[in-house]
Structures are given as C-alpha cells and as structure tokens.
Amino acid sequence: MPEELFDLSNEYETMLRMGVDLSGEDPAYFLRGRVADLARALPKAWTPRRILDFGCGTGESSAHLAERYPGAAILGVDTSDNALALARRRHGSERILFGPMAALPNEAPFDLCYVNGVFHHIEPERRLEAVRAIHAALAPGGYFALFENNPWNPGTRMVMSRIPFDRDAKTLSFGETKELVRAGGFRIAQPARFLFYFPRPLAFLRAMEPAFLRLPLGAQYCVLGSKP
C-alpha cells in the first residue's frame, strides 16, 4: 500500500469515520463482526498459535485478534513506519508485535492470516504477488481470510466515496478475489460469506443476517482460503 495512506496516522481514524458514520456504527463494530464471523467459519476444533495481520494499519485488528484468540501470538505487518509506530504505542506487548512487511519472509510460519480492506489499495498487477507472499508465510494447513469491501453494495460505494484514502481505490468483486486467492496457491475453503446488510436504524433486522451469508449484497465479504 502507498506510504501516503498513513503519513498522518493520527488522522486515519477521523478519515475512516467520515464514511463509516453513514452506517450509524463505528469501525470497531465492523471489526468485531468480521472476527466473530471468521471464528464461526473456521473449524471448531482448530485454534491458531500464530496469526498474521497483513496490512495491520494502526493495530486495532491485531489487538482484537489477540482478544479472540488468547493463546495466539500476533504479528501485524504494514508498509508504513508511521502506522507501525502508532500501533506499537497503542497495542504492542509481548504477545502483539508489529513490524515492516519487508521482514515477513524471515518470520516463522503462521497458522492464520487476517486481511481487511488492503487489496483494494494494491495495484491490480501486484495483487497476486501479495497473495503469494501470504501463501509463503503460512504453515501447511493454514488459513487465509481475505475481507474486502463489496462493490455490488451501493452503501459500500457511498461510504468509500466519503473516505479520502478510499476514493480512488480499485475495488474487487468477490469473484475476482476468489480467483486471486486460488491463483496464489490456496484452496477455497468455503463459498464467499457476505456481511453487514443493515445500518443501525434497521438494527432490528440484523438477526436475519446469518440467513443472507451467501447473498452477494452485504457491505463486505470474506473469501477463506486454506494452504494445502
């Protein structure tokens, strides 16, 4: 991702809220929803020992993954030194570490890689390279959870248009993402899952959302791959 996204890391959350506030929720609501859905999608008896947060930004996702998986060590990687410095100040610990993406090949293998909203910032011709880097970082049998914004959802397009660093992003359809994950050497572990259908004013309808997991209209989706 371009370093400029986090040149002003302290302003990142403000810019993100400029769009997300349209939903009536804050970014933490969507983070909790993604990680909870991932936990449901993964095998029930399976527990990761090492988790890679690829494109961790300012580290909120790394911290939440550590809460969800208390027995796991977390490494958040990013291309931005500013973002990593802020992540270390806020969330760094013996169990939650942050480092540059360039150092990833020197790390021990991971059992799970979590990625959210990163690939629409990667130039299309470099996306396969990123997937292959993740494939190389995972242990055999590891899982790759790629969450992306769904361009088929009009609310998603409206939100992204209000966020300065997302306005010129090149979104991926779930079909494109599935093929990208497969081309990078992964098996598709299950069909794409679609999340976040109703904004806060319609929160009383959210109990119905599990029935819509395969309906390709949610604000975000997840493609789950596994390394043979």
Structural domain boundaries enclosing 197: 3-226
Q: Determine the 3-state secondary structure of 62 from DSSP.
A: helix
Which pTM value belongs to this model?
0.92
For residue 12, give the nearest of 56, 48, 69 by alpha carbon: 56
How many Cα atoms sit within 13 Å of 54 on the Cβ side?
Answer: 32
pLDDT value of position 92: 97
pLDDT value of position 25: 84
Q: Which helix (H) or strand (E) holds 54?
A: strand 50-54
Count: domains in the chain: 1
CATH of the domain at 87: 3.40.50.150
pLDDT value of position 112: 98
pLDDT value of position 156: 82
The predicted-structure confidence for 93-126, as pLDDT tens digits, reads as follows 999 999 999 999 999 999 999 999 999 999 999 9
- Contact between 50 and 77 under an 8 Å Cβ cutoff? The reply is no
Tell me: pLDDT of 19 over 70.
no
The predicted-structure confidence for 142-201, as pLDDT tens digits, reads as follows 999 999 999 999 888 877 777 666 778 899 999 999 999 999 999 999 999 999 999 999
pLDDT value of position 159: 77
- Contact between 6 and 80 under an 8 Å Cβ cutoff? The reply is yes
Per-residue pLDDT band at 1 (split at 50, 70, 90) = very low
pLDDT value of position 68: 97
pLDDT value of position 202: 94
For residue 223, give the DSSP letter.
Answer: E
